[in-house]
């Protein structure tokens, strides 16, 4: 069972988009870490842009780039959103409000607190009424999203956009759950090869946990380990190389994902 990657979007430290990231991940350009600048989405109305938190902006930026590269209409495509952390800044502010004397929470903070907030903003931004799933799997959140998207593409024979994002918690939550940086990544996946197809993927769930594929560059490896959404980096590196490869991703419990990447 094969699926096809039609478009990629990425925003991460030193990797502002897929065009800039591809040669870095392929090893032809050195990696230079830099602060992430998260753009406000041009897809949202002004009022929604003001209300959107960092995870929403990350998801929209990565998703918009992936769909543009794929040449697909996001309004006509199902989506899977995955995040380990959700909106940690918003959670922190809600906890502060609940710990105070007034204990009043703004409606904007409340509606941004749900885990599927990025999916909701995406539907507003794109006008999509297609099915959407939002999930979480701790450090395996990207892998869990890939399994869900793969299953939908294979079973339903439809294209699916997979969008993953994470950003740091403020203190004191950061002490308990440290996420090193902002990362957003998106893949547009299709059931059949098209002129836009970049590479083909096969995804297998292995019963025995092995050693996940690591990044050769120490700084990129630190990013991979420091942000759950960045666990995708070995897969993105394989896609950037454009040759056949095997990528092992950590999954839940004693399970692991083996992803076979092959040219179309």
User: In this predicted model, what pLDDT tens digit does every residue of 138-197 receive, in sequence order?
Assistant: 999 999 999 999 999 999 999 999 999 999 999 999 999 999 999 999 999 999 999 999
Dihedral angle sign, alpha carbons of residues 225, 228, 234, 240: negative
User: Which pTM does this prediction carry?
Assistant: 0.95
CA geometry: angle at 185 spanning 191 and 11, to 5°? 145
Full strand arrangement of the beta sheet holding 256-263:
132-135, 78-82, 160-166, 183-190, 3-11, 199-206, 256-263, 245-250
Report the SS3 class of residue 22. helix
Domains and CATH numbers, the chain: 3-196 (3.40.47.10)
DSSP letter for 192, please. S
pLDDT tens, 179-188? 999 999 999 9
Rounded distance, CA 250 to CA 252, Å?
7
Q: Is pLDDT larger for residue 205 or for residue 107? A: 205
């Amino acid at each position: 069972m094969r699926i096809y990657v039609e478009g990629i979007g990425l925003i991460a430290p030193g990797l502002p988009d897929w065009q800039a990231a591809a040669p870095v991940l392929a090893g032809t350009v050195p990696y230079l870490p830099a602060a992430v600048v998260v753009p406000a989405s041009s897809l949202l109305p002004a009022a929604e842009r003001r209300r959107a938190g960092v995870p929403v902006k990350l998801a929209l930026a990565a998703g918009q780039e992936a769909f543009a590269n794929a040449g697909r209409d996001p309004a006509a495509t199902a989506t899977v959103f995955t995040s380990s952390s959700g909106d940690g800044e918003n959670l922190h502010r809600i906890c502060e409000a609940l710990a105070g004397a007034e204990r009043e929470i703004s409606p904007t903070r409340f509606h941004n607190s749900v885990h599927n907030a990025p999916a909701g903003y995406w539907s507003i931004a794109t006008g999509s009424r297609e099915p959407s799933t939002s999930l979480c799997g701790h450090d395996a959140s990207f892998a869990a999203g890939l399994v869900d998207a793969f299953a939908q593409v294979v079973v339903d024979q439809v294209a699916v956009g997979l969008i993953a994002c994470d950003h740091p918690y403020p203190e004191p939550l950061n002490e308990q759950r440290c996420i090193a940086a902002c990362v957003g990544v998106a893949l547009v996946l299709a059931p059949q090869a098209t002129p836009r197809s970049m590479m083909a993927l096969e995804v297998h769930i292995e019963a025995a946990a092995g050693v996940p594929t690591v990044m050769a560059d120490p700084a990129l490896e630190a990013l991979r380990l420091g942000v759950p959404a960045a666990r995708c980096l070995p897969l993105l590196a394989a896609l950037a190389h454009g040759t056949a490869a095997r990528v092992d991703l950590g999954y839940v419990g004693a399970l692991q994902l083996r992803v076979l990447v092959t040219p179309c």
